[in-house]
Amino acid sequence: MKKAKWLFALAIAVLMALPLAAQKTELTFWTWRPEDTEKYEKLLATFEKQNPGITVKISAFKNTEYNTILSAALSGGSGPDVFQSRAYGGLETFAQSGYMESLEKWVPELKNFNKDVLRGATSVKDGKVYGVPFASQTLFVFYNKQIYKELGLKVPETWDEFLANCAAVKKAGYQPLANGGKEGWTLEVMMGSLCPNFYGANDFYDAVVAGKTTFQDPRFVSAIAKLKELTPYMPDLYMGVSYTDMQSAFINETAAHFIGGSFEAGYFASQNPKLDFDVFPGPTAKKGDPHYVSIYADGNFSMNAASKQKETAAKLLKFFAGKETGDFFIRELQQVSAVPGADTSASPYITKVLSFQKYSTPYIFLVGFRYNQPTGSTLIQAALQGFLAGKIDAAEVCKQVQEGIATYYEPFKKK
C-alpha cells in the first residue's frame, strides 16, 4: 500500500517535470570562428529572448580543423543541430554525404537572397539549397589614405595609373605592395582582385564554365601575365613573404597597398585603430570601363539532417536569415552580410563594398572549379607560385590549370 502511494507521488512528479523539460530545449551550434564566440553569444542571447525555452550552446573549433572535426562528428551520427558550413565545394561534401537538411521548406526567406550568393549554399548535384548564407566576400585593393595624401596621389582607375602610383610610392621609400607569395592562396586572391577586368569578367566565366573556351584562351593568359608587372613593387624576396607578414606590413603602415578581400577590414581596424585605409576595385585597361570585382559566398548556416529537433533548429535558421542577424554581421563583425535589406548605414566601408558589387563576377576557381581534386584553386595557387618566382611563364600557368581541370571536368573533356 505504502509502495503504491510512493509510485503515485513519483508519477505525479514525473508528469509535472515533463512539460518543464519539454519547454527547455537546448540546441547545439558549431562555428569555426573561436575569435567571434563572444559576439555570437550576444546574437544568440537575442534569439533566446525571442524564443523563451530554447537555449543555444555554442562550440567553436579552429578554422583549419573544423572540417575534420565536423565530418567525424556527423559521420558518427552525432554532431550539432545547426552549424556553420562552407560554401561551394565544401558544402557539396556534406550535402552529398547526406548530412545536411535541404532548407527550402524550413526557411522560406531564402527566396529573397541574392542569387549569386545563394549559389554558395546550393548543391550543384541536385540544385537544392542546404544553407542560409551569412556573408559575401569581395576582392579588391586596400590602400593607405595617409600615404596617398602625403604623396598627393589619386585613386587609380586604370592599370597604368595603378603602376604609376606604385612607382611613386616606391620612390618615396614606402613598400608599394604588401603582397607576397609564400602561401599560394594569397596569390589566388591577387588574381581574383586584378585579373577579371583583363580576362573579360562574366563573359569569360560563363564561356569557360560551359566549356566553350578553355583557360588557355588568350584573354586569360594575358590577364595572368599582367600580374608579373607587379613584381618590382612587391617586397624584397616576396616569395618568402607570408600572409601574416603581409598583414603586418599594411597594419604598420610600411606598405601602401594590400591586394586582398573584404574580410581583412575588421582585423586591420582592430589591430591599428589609427590606420586610415580605404579600398578601390581592380583597375581596368581603359578609363571609363566598369570595374569588375570577384565575389563569393563565404559560408552558410546549415541544419544537421540527423537532428532530433528540426522544428527548433529551423527557428534558429530563420533567425539567421533575418534582419537582426544581418545587422549583427555588419555592426559587430564588419562582414558584408548576405541577408537582404540589412542596415549598412553603420558602416560606410560596407556601403562602399556593396557599391562595388554592382559589377560583380564569380571568384572564378572557388565558385566554378572547387568540386573535384585537383581543384582549380590548388592548380592556380601552385602555378602562380611558379610563375611569380620566374620558373614558368603565363602560358604554362594556364596550360597546367587547364590540363589539371580537364582530368575530371566534363565540358572540357569533349574538346
Partner 1 sequence: MNKRTAERRWILFFISPALAVVFVIILLPLFMSLFNSLFSWKQLIRQDFIGLENFRKVFFTEPYKTRFFNALKNNGLWFIITMLIQNVGGLLIGYFLSRRVWAHEFYKRVIFIPVLFSIVAVGFLWSLYLRPNGLVNGFLKIVGLPQLTRAWLGDESIATFSIIFVNIWRWIGFPSLVFLAAIDNVPMDCLEAAWLDGATDRRVFFKVILPLIVPSILIITVLTIIGSLNVFEQIYTMAGLDGAPNFSTDTIGTLFYRTAFGSVDSGNPEIGIGSAIGVIIYLLTFLASVASIVGLGKKEVEL
Residues near partner 1 (CB under 8 A): 63-64, 66-68, 71, 74-75, 86, 89-90, 92-94, 96-99, 180-185, 235-242, 245, 370-375, 377-378, 381-383, 385-386, 389, 391, 403-404, 407
Smallest distance, partner 1 to C-beta of residue 104, A: 21
Smallest distance, partner 1 to C-beta of residue 91, A: 10
224 vs 321, beta carbon nearer partner 1: 224
53 vs 390, beta carbon nearer partner 1: 390
Name residue 361's beta-bridge partners.
294
59 vs 254, beta carbon nearer partner 1: 254
Q: Which cell numbers in the block locate residue 189?
A: 586572391
Smallest distance, partner 1 to C-beta of residue 97, A: 4
Smallest distance, partner 1 to C-beta of residue 392, A: 9
35 vs 38, beta carbon nearer partner 1: 35
14 vs 389, beta carbon nearer partner 1: 389
Smallest distance, partner 1 to C-beta of residue 379, A: 8
Smallest distance, partner 1 to C-beta of residue 115, A: 24
180 vs 368, beta carbon nearer partner 1: 180
Smallest distance, partner 1 to C-beta of residue 93, A: 5
70 vs 118, beta carbon nearer partner 1: 70
155 vs 305, beta carbon nearer partner 1: 305
Smallest distance, partner 1 to C-beta of residue 239, A: 3
Q: What is the 3-state secondary structure (H, E, C) of the chain?
A: CHHHHHHHHHHHHHHHHHHHHHHCEEEEEEECCHHHHHHHHHHHHHHHHHCCCEEEEEEECCHHHHHHHHHHHHHCCCCCCEEEEECCHHHHHHHHCCCECCCCCCCHHHHHCCHHHHHHHECCCCCCECCEEEEEEEEEEEEEHHHHHHHCCCCCCEHHHHHHHHHHHHHCCCEEECCCCCCHHHHHHHHHHHCHHHHCHHHHHHHHHCCCCCCCCHHHHHHHHHHHCCHHHCCCCHHHCCHHHHHHHHHCCCEEEEEEEHHHHHHHHHHCCCCCEEEECCCECCCCCCCCEEEEEEEEEEEECCCCCHHHHHHHHHHHCCHHHHHHHHHCCCCEECCCCCCCCCCHHHHHHHHHHHHEEECHHHHHCCCCCCCHHHHHHHHHHHHHCCCCCHHHHHHHHHHHHHCCCHHHHCC
